[in-house]
Chain A
Amino acid sequence: MNIQPDLEFIQYLKGVGGDTLKKCYQCATCSVVCPLSKDKKPFPRKEMIWSQWGLKDNLITDPDVFLCHQCGDCTAKCPRGAKPGDVMGAVRAYAYTFYGWPSGLAKLASSAKGLPVMIAIPAVVIFVMWMLSGAMGFPSAEDFAHHGYQQFFGHWDFRWYAKNIFFIVCFMVPSLALAVFSAYKGISNLWKAMAEKHTMNPNFRPSVIQFGQKFLLPAVVEILQHVRFRECKVNADRARGHRPLMYAFIGLFIVTTWSLLANDVIGLWVARFHGPMTFWNPVKLLANVSAIAMLYGIWVLWTNRAKAESDAGLSGNFYDWFLIWEIMAVGVTGTLAEVCRWAGLVQIGYLIYFCHLVAVMMLFLYLPYTKLAHLVYRTFAIAFDKCRESSFGTDAAVK
């Protein structure tokens, strides 16, 4: 067998948290202590040697790379400080860039060097929108109290479609659409590659409904319950931070959906559905509870990560920190914007709200290329894991 190591690939891994990968001497302690790996072809020992040898093709078609929750049990027990958990994270970082479309954007989002541009894109777009909207000014204190940020992009008297919503939709929806399309493309490429490598039965595929019922839905349920995440021992705190954070995102998704519905559909007939919600409105309560959960969750993850870096010698890198910063930015700007509204601070409020819009747009726009991509990739990898163990996988069919 002629092995061609991909040296650039190895260098890449070393740059995104996998700097210790060459220390591994294949004792396989990691595969045994990993609470998530199974008896047949466990991970991450095999991924460690593939990384050392630069066997990129094996790694980017390996569902185990995405099944890893980076809980750090393997890293704690590793006799050499090779930090398999971090190497797996580095491989995922590579995979998101590899499967990301368009590749220019994916590459931009892969290193700290791209950060200024990553911030500049939404900042410029939103600023231009603000100028185009012609609003470009601050409302009176009275208006601010009455409308909050709902006239950030101005107001027109066309009752079927609010001006503010029109402008927000103008940049948020394309960002989200791009992200969804890119994630779809990435997932389908990954799935094809995994299915080929792991010889799924080509003549016998699940229908869309079967797939949803048998594999995707159980995977989502498992993720919601944090079944796998809670297996982790060394770093149990991460599950404690991740869970409220995930529920916060779900809560804020519901709030956003409801706001859209209330303002733009119901609001057309019932005027009182317009305007910012009162504090005791249940949806507003959900929004605030979610915001607190988000800040708490990201705070736990932030301190946890910082502690791991100072105590356990984990290496800090852009890939891991970007998501923490990004979510922190969304949470902090969102909460501060609300506080400014209660306090009637128009100018500062508007500036913070602008930052909030930038942060949210970044979240959408870079979703498929940054760590947040695990949202889709891990979900489908778990579904694939279930699929390959079912009768649709040839491994099972042979038995």
Chain B
Amino acid sequence: MTDEQGTSGAILVVGGGISGLTAALEAAEVGNDVFLIEKSASFGGRVAQLNQYFPKLCPPSCGLEINFRRVKNNRKIRTYTMTTVKSVSGAPGNYQVNLEIAPRYVNSNCTACGDCAEACPDMIDNEFNFGMDKTKAAYLLHDMAYPRRYVINKAKLSADGAKAVKAACKYNAVDLDMQVQNVTVNVASIVWATGWTPYDATKMDNLKFGHSNAIITNMMMERLAAPNGPTGGAVVRPGDGKEVSSIAFVQCAGSRDENHLEFCSHICCMATLKQMTYVRERYPDAKMYVFYIDLRTPGKYEKFREKLTNDKNSFFIKGKVAEIVPESDGGVTVVAENAVTGDKIRQKVDMAVLATGMQPSLGLEGSPVSLNMDNSGFIISDNEKGMISAGCAKKAADVVTTTQSSTAAALKAIQISRR
């Protein structure tokens, strides 16, 4: 695939979330060949885990479904799931990228009938739901998974399980001898859309995440509220399933903090306001407490904030929660100083939501090639080298900003291939 200028016209997009999908489509729809790779078993990324997302509070099926269809229909895009970049050699315009495809143990015969999962006796923690429920060791990542193909966690599969799964498949799709595959692709430029990982809440030892079921993260809240989540959309306390009559939102949990993430993740204030609407829809009288340093509601979202600050059972307290005490009844007490009145507050609540920030995944996991990164692990684009960052790999942002930056990244990537 070399064009007349001697460059490979193709573009590699690393990461198949909303950002990678956008970049891949934008580049492909103007005629470039695109390799779109994704580390997990399905495209969709973090957006797939949300209950609703801004700006219109759509369910993720809304935005992802149309993008999946566009990808499916576009013959310029080749998709690889369970695939990561191992190494990159060559020069801008002509990179040889070594990709590693992890074994899925299910081949393309799969019709997603689900018989293997039904037959499988082995249960594993459901990582898509942050471990709040279990799933079979042969599973579909989520209802909307694309490609629509099962995946098997072979390490957790018992000998009996292996037999059962194999026997259950009518299409001979289960292949437990599948090996790691290596593929080399030739591309002009690489768009890094590697996204983000929720900051590890156990690192804030004073917030006691993991010490009580009542303490969850904002992403866990999304799963709780999602119709395809562990509770079928009921916002209840994990563990005992108690309905919540009071809830505290702990803003900046590990964000804007030089001991954790030193930047503002940009989305957590709006995410909390959004999640307050989830709670309000389900519990008209529940008391909601938001503990914040500054409430950041950019642009038109000011109206959204007003709606919630006018709610008579919502209380906004300026002061960061610096201590959470698990209580014997399953609830927790959050402790903060109200910087306006100057007194400490000890608020007992049924559930506390830690608004944890976005940690750039590539910075966290380490990059396979040398990339320009800032102190926090965000990738700084090097357009000359054809190494372009997009979405939350570039900076913490909401979906709208992410898709804009992905379109921009696609344009930069195309420019390298047309030199």
B342 within 8 A of A: yes
Q: Are A45 and B344 in contact (CB under 8 A)?
A: no
Chain A residues, CB < 8 A from B322: 28-33, 77
A258 to B337 CA separation, bound complex (whole angstroms) = 51
Docked Cα-Cα span, A26 to B346, in Å, equals 18
Partner of B336, one of A28, A37, A40: A28
Task: Please tell me if the beta carbons of A79 and B339 are within 8 angstroms of each other in the complex.
Answer: no
- Residues from chain A with a CB closer than 8 A to the CB of B343 are 39-42
> Could you give, for residues 95-129 of chain B, a 1 whenever the CB lies within 8 Å of some chain A CB and a 0 otherwise?
00000000000000000000000000000000000
Write the A187-201 contact mask toward B (1 if CB under 8 angstroms, else 0).
000000000000000
Complex interface: chain B residues within 8 A of A39 (CB): 343-344, 346
Q: Which residues of B contact A226 (CB under 8 A)?
A: none
**Cβ-based interface call for B319 (8 A):** yes
Taking CB atoms and an 8 Å cut-off, the chain A residues in 79-137 that contact chain B are 79-81
**How many residues belonging to A are interface residues under a CB distance threshold of 8 Å?**
21
Tell me, yes or no, whether A14 is within 8 Å of chain B by CB: no
> Which of A25, A32, A81 lies in contact with B344, CB distance below 8 A?
A32
Nearest-neighbour CB distance to chain B for A51, whole angstroms, equals 15
Residues of chain A within 8 A (CB-CB) of B257 are: 79-80
Query: Which residues from A are CB-within-8-Å of B320?
Result: 27-29, 32, 79
Q: Does A240 contact B (CB under 8 A)?
A: no
CB-nearest residue of chain B relative to A45? B337
- Given known pairs A25-B293, A26-B339, the reply for A31 and B258 (CB within 8 Å) is no
**Are the C-beta atoms of B258 and A81 separated by less than 8 Å?**
yes
Give bound CA distance, A78 to B283, whole Å. Answer: 36
Measured between alpha carbons, how far is A46 from B319 in the docked complex, in Å? 12
B335 contacts A by Cβ under 8 Å: yes
Knowing A28-B319, A45-B337, the reply to whether A79 touches B256 (Cβ < 8 A) is: yes
- Per DSSP, chain A at the interface is loop
A79 and B344: CB pair below 8 A? no
In chain B, positions 198-221 with a C-beta closer than 8 Å to chain A are 206
A82 to chain B, nearest CB (A): 10
Q: Report yes or no: B342 in contact with A32, Cβ–Cβ below 8 A.
A: no
Tell me whether B73 is interfacial, beta carbon within 8 Å. Answer: no
Q: Does B328 contact A (CB under 8 A)?
A: no
Contacts of B175 in A (CB 8 A): none
Task: Please name all residues of chain A whose beta carbon is closer than 8 Å to the beta carbon of B318 when the two chains form the complex.
Answer: 28
Distance A39 CA – B337 CA, assembled complex (angstroms) = 8
B259 close to A79 (CB less than 8 A): yes
Q: What chain A residues lie within 8 Å of B258 (beta carbons)?
A: 79-81
Quote the shortest CB–CB distance from A68 to chain B (angstroms): 15
User: Which residues of chain A are within 8 angstroms of B398 by Cβ–Cβ distance?
Assistant: none
Q: With A32-B336, A79-B257 in contact, do A41 and B342 touch (Cβ < 8 Å)?
A: yes
- Selected contact of B339 from candidates A28, A40, A77, A81, CB within 8 Å: A28
Interface: B252 (CB within 8 A): yes
8 A Cβ contacts from A12-31 to B: 25-31
Does B29 sit within 8 A of A, measured CB to CB?
no
Using a CB–CB cutoff of 8 Å, the interface residues on chain B facing chain A are 206, 252, 256-260, 293, 318-323, 335-339, 342-344, 346
- Given known contacts A27-B256, A29-B322, A46-B342, what 9 new A-B pairs fall within 8 Å (CB)? A26-B293, A27-B320, A32-B320, A32-B323, A33-B323, A39-B344, A42-B337, A45-B337, A79-B256
